[in-house]
Chain A
Amino acid sequence: MHPGRWRRASFCNNCDVLEASDLECERGGRTLFRSLSLFLEPGESLRIAGANGSGKTSLLRILCGLAAPSVGAVRWRGSPIAALKEDYARQLVYLGHSSAVKGDLTAAENLSIACTLAGLHVPKSELRAALERFGLPLQETPVRRLSQGQRRRAALARLCVSATLPLWLLDEPFSALDAAGIDLLRTLVVEHLARGGMAAFTTHQDPGIAATHVVDLG
């Protein structure tokens, strides 16, 4: 996409750089995209646009390492993510299509478990603040009794405590959110980019975030 930048990347082995070169993705015998390259530096954001079924989620899953591309490689700080494994996983937060919250647990329990699994040590007060910021009930209400939008908020609350993770990969983060929720999420992403983080998100509507790069899968 930016041929001049490849050279720059080779000098910078230790700064946070996500690059994908020549990616091809095949699903069910159909090629979703091919020869896709992208490059993300601190403070930059990537918007993945496209129609339903165009491979937005597949691309994001390839970028976070959950799926392997049929051709090409994703590199983090110059090393292939397939070799980095947990070392790469520790640098990112991925919020997928499904909310990844347990219906039988409360929002607070879900958030605290998600943080421990991600290797983050977050004090209780910060967890509380994150839930309050997203307007989630602090009492013992299991998430399954909350609405779809609130469940989405319970998942997104992780972003409030993930400031130290440089790479945010968000799959349709704006879906099921109300106007206030969308505003809050936009603020969080803009704050993250301002402190030198990177974000990649899929969306089919205009997110109101001026993305540095846009990949349109058609």
Chain B
Amino acid sequence: MFAAARCVVLRDLLLAARRPGDVATALLFFVIVASLFPLGIGAEPNLLRAIAPGVIWVAALLSSMLSLGRLFAADYDDGTLEQMLLGAAPLGVVAAAKALAHWLIAGLPLVAIAPVIALQYDLAAELWGVLALSLLLGTPVLSLLGAVGAALTLGLRGGGVLLSLLVLPLYVPVLIMGAGAVEMASAGLGGGGQLLLLGAMLLVAAAFAPWAISAALRISLE
């Protein structure tokens, strides 16, 4: 069972390594969207500091969604998804592995680069850690919830737009808690509460999303 999960994660990482452009696109999208705001709003440090958490989180959210469409679509087109359904491991395990691989490819790089973006917004150095931690806890939730949406819209015409309409509302609590943690910390109140709530969301999503994904995949492939 764990051999299959490891195999799926390594396979997706290997595929991403063979096409580094796809990974770079999501990361560059994040950097560019987050960099557009200071250019549009103007370099007023107090304003930038105030909007930084929200803007960085919205950019992360959009960037994570950018690669969701391909999460199952490529495997669906070439028939490898059918083979996963007929695999020896329960489909939920494979679904969790796919979501984990998506996070490693599309989520983790955002966590790593977030402090650089924070610098652009003149965010105090002690807030970088809170920002990175909130992304570290929040982006896996985005991958897990997004994978449910990607599985549901698999094979539909215009699935990409439908996917955003379906998934973005589900992202709202993560956005509020993620940006809220940084805002609270910058106000000197400590973002611990929000981070704990993000952690709780992650645990709930990790426990239930894989089964929702596998149920959705079975429906989409029938």
* Chain A residues packing against B (C-beta within 8 Å): 64-68, 85-86, 89-90, 92, 94, 96-105, 109, 113-114, 116-120, 142
One of B50-58, B74-82, B124-132 at the interface: B74-82
Whether B8 sits at the interface, judged by CB under 8 Å, is yes
Total interface residues in chain B, CB < 8 Å? 25
Please give the distance in Å from B204's CB to the nearest CB on chain A.
25
Chain A nearest CB, measured from B13 CB (Å) = 12
Chain A contacts of B15 at CB under 8 A? 102, 104-105
How far is it, in angstroms, between the C-alpha of A22 and the C-alpha of B82 when the chains are bound?
25
- Does B84 sit at the interface, judged by CB under 8 A? yes
Q: If the complex has contacts A66-B221, A94-B82, are A117 and B87 also in contact, measured as CB distance less than 8 A?
A: yes
- Interface of B: prevailing SS: helix
> CB < 8 Å: which of A64, A85, A97, A104 contacts B79?
A97
A134 shortest CB reach to chain B, Å:
18
Residue on B nearest A87 in the bound complex, by CB: B88
Q: Is the CB of A117 within 8 A of B78?
A: no
30 A-B residue pairs with Cβ-Cβ distance under 8 Å, sorted by A, are: A66-B82, A68-B222, A86-B88, A89-B85, A89-B88, A92-B86, A96-B82, A98-B78, A98-B79, A98-B82, A99-B78, A100-B78, A100-B79, A100-B80, A100-B82, A101-B80, A104-B19, A105-B11, A113-B11, A114-B83, A116-B7, A117-B4, A117-B8, A117-B83, A117-B87, A118-B86, A119-B4, A119-B88, A120-B88, A142-B18
User: Residue-by-residue, is B1-21 near A (CB-CB < 8 Å gives 1, otherwise 0)?
Assistant: 001100110010011001100
Among B11, B77, B84, the most chain A Cβ lie within 10 Å of the Cβ of B11
A66 touches B222 (CB 8 A): yes
With a 10 A CB-CB cut-off, give which of B18, B88, B94 has the most chain A CB atoms: B88
Bound complex: CA A90 to CA B83 (Å): 11
Pick the most buried of B77, B82, B84: most chain A CB atoms within 10 A of its CB: B82
Q: Are B14 and A119 in contact (CB under 8 A)?
A: no
Contacts A68-B222, A101-B80, A118-B83 known; 12 new A-B pairs at CB < 8 A: A64-B86, A90-B88, A97-B79, A98-B78, A104-B15, A105-B14, A114-B83, A116-B4, A118-B86, A118-B87, A118-B88, A119-B89
Is the CB–CB distance between B87 and A102 below 8 Å? Answer: no
Residues of B with C-beta under 8 A to A90: 88
Q: Which residue from chain A places its CB closest to the CB of B79 in the assembled complex?
A: A98
Within the complex, the shortest CB–CB distance from A142 to chain B, in Å, comes to: 7
| Contacts known (A114-B83, A117-B88); A105 close to B18, Cβ less than 8 A | yes
Residues of A within 8 A of B221 (CB): 66
Closest chain B CB from A60 CB (angstroms): 11
User: In the complex, which residue of chain A has the Cβ closest to the Cβ of B82?
Assistant: A96
